[in-house]
Amino acid sequence: MKTNFFRTALSISMIAIASITFYSCEQDALEGISSEVLQEKSFDEKHNENFVELSEDEYIEGQLYVKLKDDYNKNFKSSSPKVDLNKLPFLNDLKRNSSFNVKSTFYFAKSSKLNRTLRVYLDNPEQTDALIAELESSKEVEYVERVPLARTSLTPNDLGANTVSEQWGLHKIQAQEAWEITQGSPNVVVAVVDDAIMTTHPDLAGQTVAGRDVSDDDNDTNPSTNLQHGTHVAGIVGAATNNGTGIASIGYNVKIMPIKATPDSGIPGYVYNGYEGITWAADNGADVINMSWGGSTYSQTNANVISAAAAQGVVLVASAGNSNSSVTKYPAGYPNVISVANTDINDNKSSTSSYGPTVDVSAPGTSIRSTVISGDYANWSGTSMAAPMVAGLCGLVLSVDPTLSIAEVENCIKSTTDPISSYAGSLGTGRINALKAVQCAAGNNGTCTTPSPSEITYTEHSSIIYLYAYPYQGDAHQFRYRLDGGSWQYFNETTSHYNTVSNKQCGIYEIQLRQKCNGTWSSWSSVKTIVTTVSCCTTPSPTEITYTEHSSLVYLYAYPYQGDAHQFRYRFNNGGWKYFSPTSSHYNTISNKQCGTYKVQLRQKCSNAWTGWSTVKSIVTCQ
């Protein structure tokens, strides 16, 4: 524990230190800054002069989540941040050994699980472990856990530097072409949960719906001097477009719900109440929520927040992080969250972007121009900038079809990306393509879904198989097939709903189908297996060729006889092959016999399908 003198010195220098944290370009926001420096002011009057140290393992020291058991005090329900501990006597009892305050930071949550999750603030963080032990042994508590720290995912350039065309990202993802289909609906709401959002910026004014400051528990989401991050993020999502001012945004006409999740006294670059913000947004009509922040610590409470929001049908988008590693960040790593990596103008991974198996897609996030709290515009970089590009696109997709489920929105985003070679397999399915995504949402005008084997039907005839695509979708289809594991044979694409396999043979046909919509092919379907019903002939062996030799001829016999017809061929002393016509008789005759060596082969036919030629049977005459 540091001395009170050191705490006082820190409070004087906090603003200068915070600016260093926020504008760190290529390093982790905690790197090089001691845990004593990173402190959070407590939220109630009792703790105004006390700071809470943040530990190096990304927890806020001295703060805990406590989940009450469902069967304890069933009538307890929070309706404000204040908690009456007389209704929770076990917590009052624990205060004999530890000094702490309790707040209900999820008091507005519709989810009873979250409403019964409390946040504890210890006066002395050194008592944290002891209090955890006591809470874990309390029969009233379902679980207790430390509160994770979340940091913004921004790695800004020097403000004002612009080495690429002003809004290269929108051109890269074909936003202009997407806007020909939809300019976004003002009925679609994208919440930006961040440090603060300047709703009076000239390019944001009129673009927002009612929001909330969940950190200071009021309705003013505008930032203090140093809280800059959320305003830049919000502009990427939904700055006013086609208004002759500043910039265009991917969301065009979608509305922004501003959620301030950092207290006015907080350190820039950190989000203190992001999960309370997610809950408020989900409970108050957000269709999409953007989270351009995160940390490497998993939390059961925070996972409950994500699950509750997803259960309400909210599409969740988060930045993958700026650690240039595959370490999973949260909330991006929770289920039901679209995790977004950062790519540059050449579709390469940015030097700082996180990557790995939990990333779902990539988006432009390097030198992205957007709104800042000076009322002007600046180019910043980071997965913080890539995530709102995706969140705004989700808003466009829902503008085309507001009935789409979370899974359908995510599919339209992930299945329509453009491939990128950088960090193959670690940057999701590729870099987003706005045009293809909204085409997907528009149905057959967009990307076809991958057909299922049940959409492949067939009828089998004596010598052919008709293949049908049903139900038919899209502008064209293509079948491919192979027999008994051989090479794939491809039909040309066609607008007809069927193709014909000619010269049917006995064996197992594997069939696949793909379909095309608006110039884009779906993936191949899984295999449909067809076992033909013909009586299959096997390739004859030389022992099935028998003969009798006479003075001037040789009789050739196929025995035992199989199939509908057979054919012999022969050559004399390695001359050219001579072919008998196919016949249903079981023998043929070589006339004008000569003395020497005849080489004879046999093939047979079943249901119009010929076997291969047998190996050679040698007949030496005139012996």
**What residues are annotated to the active site?**
194, 229, 384
With 0-12 CB in 10 A as exposed, 13-18 as middle and 19+ as buried, what is 357? exposed
Alpha-carbon distance 169 to 389, whole Å? Answer: 9
421 SS3 class: coil
Contacts of 569 (CB under 8 A, 6+ apart): 577, 578, 579, 580, 600, 601, 613
> Radius of gyration over alpha carbons of the chain, in Å?
36
In terms of Cα–Cα distance, which of 121, 129, 145 is closest to 53?
A: 121
Sign of CA dihedral 317, 322, 324, 327: negative
The vertex-113 CA angle with 327 and 74, nearest 5°, equals 155
Q: 600: which 2 tokens?
A: 């004879």
How far from the centroid of its chain's Cα atoms is residue 202's Cα? 34
DSSP symbol at 454: G
Alpha-carbon distance 38 to 47, whole Å? Answer: 17
Residue 562: count other Cβ atoms within 10 Å of its Cβ: 17
* Contact criterion met (CB below 8 Å) for 227 and 251: no
Tracing tokens 């673009």 back to the chain, one arrives at 207
Can you name the residues that pair with 120 across neighbouring β-strands?
64, 102
CA distances for 115 relative to 65, 83, 87, 111, 439, angstroms: 12, 12, 15, 6, 40
